[in-house]
């Protein structure tokens, strides 16, 4: 009996992998059949959806080619929107924005510094300050402004130094 039991164990050791592989193969075949069926069903459903989309696309392209509805849409849009009026309004808004920007910029310009001269030194002509240089460009900007524009901010007037007169009479 020991020999028969030993034989049986040896045969089982050899046969077990074969049986296991066969069962796995059957399961894989069953699963692949199920996956194939599922793939076929999904493919059919996607094909139906694709066909429906293609039909709708064809209808839309035909409408566009025949210009059904497009002319009505354009006319409706034209009736609602007057492009000339919009362009004119945008131009007015742009001019108003330019005016506001100019007045805002002018409010930040520094005032000309007052020069204090010593009585013993001769007065020299002050070089042009950065605040005076943009003034040359201002007439061009003023031409765009309407006549009812706000008056520009007052700038301090440079005073003639009294020391210059006393230096001239001393010499």
95 or 154, which is more confident: 95
Residues ≥6 apart with Cβ < 8 Å to 123: 117, 161, 163, 164, 167
Q: Residue 19 has what pLDDT?
A: 93
Binned at pLDDT 50, 70 and 90, residue 78 comes out as confident
Q: What is the mean pLDDT of the chain?
A: 74
Residue 94 has what pLDDT?
A: 94
């Amino acid at each position: 009996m020991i020999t028969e039991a030993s034989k049986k164990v040896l045969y089982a050791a050899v046969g077990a992998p074969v049986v296991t592989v066969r069962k796995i193969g059957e399961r894989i075949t069953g699963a692949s059949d199920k996956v194939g069926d599922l793939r076929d069903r999904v493919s059919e459903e996607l094909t139906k959806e694709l066909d429906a989309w293609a039909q709708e696309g064809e209808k839309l392209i035909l409408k566009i080619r025949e210009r059904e509805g497009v002319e009505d849409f354009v006319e409706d849009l034209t009736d609602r929107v007057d492009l000339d009026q919009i362009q004119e309004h945008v131009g007015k808004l742009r001019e108003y924005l330019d005016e506001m920007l100019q007045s805002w910029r002018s409010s930040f310009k520094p005032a000309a510094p007052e020069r204090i001269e010593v009585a013993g030194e001769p007065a020299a002509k002050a070089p042009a300050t950065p605040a005076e240089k943009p003034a040359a460009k201002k007439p061009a900007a003023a031409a765009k402004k309407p006549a009812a524009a706000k008056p520009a901010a007052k700038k301090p007037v440079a005073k003639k130094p009294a020391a210059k007169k006393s230096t001239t009479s001393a010499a």
